[in-house]
Amino acid sequence: MKAAVPKQFTYLGLKIQGDLGPFTCYTTKRGRVVWFLKAPPKEPPTWQQVLQQNLFRYVSWAWRALTPPQRDDWDRIARHASLRITGYDLFTYLQTTDDHSIIAAIERHATAKLPGLPR
């Protein structure tokens, strides 16, 4: 259920995301702020949901384990390949899908190896 945007949240050009009081909000690609009343889950997560959450948690840990130059390489390669995502997004996608054909295509296009991937 969409909620009316509290006027005090729109002053000074604030870009608030996440949970704030009884609201959850995010910013669309076009810069529009969308607000919803917070809806906490009514039941605990299933084992599949916990597995999925842990997968993304592990990918985040792997990203943070990369050195800053390696993370910069991911960002540079994503830009060079004209992708509309960040290096972190590309890293997350490739870690969760393990799509070797996409890895090869991006490396070919960027003429560089993506650092930190298991070979």
Q: Give per-residue pLDDT as tens, 51-99.
A: 999 999 999 999 999 999 999 999 999 988 888 889 999 999 989 987 8
Tell me: do 69 and 105 sit in the same domain. yes
Does the structure show a pLDDT above 60 at 2?
no
Task: Tell me: do 106 and 82 sit in the same domain.
Answer: yes
Least confident stretch, 9-18, 42-51, 53-62 = 9-18
- Residues 6+ positions from 6 with CB-CB distance below 8 Å: 23, 35
Q: What share of the chain is helix, strand, coil (3-state, %, to 5)?
A: 50, 10, 40
Q: How many domains does the chain have?
A: 2
Verify that 63 and 83 share a domain, yes or no.
yes
Same domain flag for 28 and 66? no
Per the confidence metrics, is the pTM higher than 0.95? no
Examine residue 1 and state whether it is found in any structural domain, yes or no. no
What pLDDT shows up at residue 14?
62
> In terms of residue numbers, what domain contains 89?
47-110
| 33 and 56 co-located in one domain | no
Instruction: State whether 76 and 106 are in the same domain.
Output: yes
What pLDDT, on the 0 to 100 scale, is given for residue 108? 85
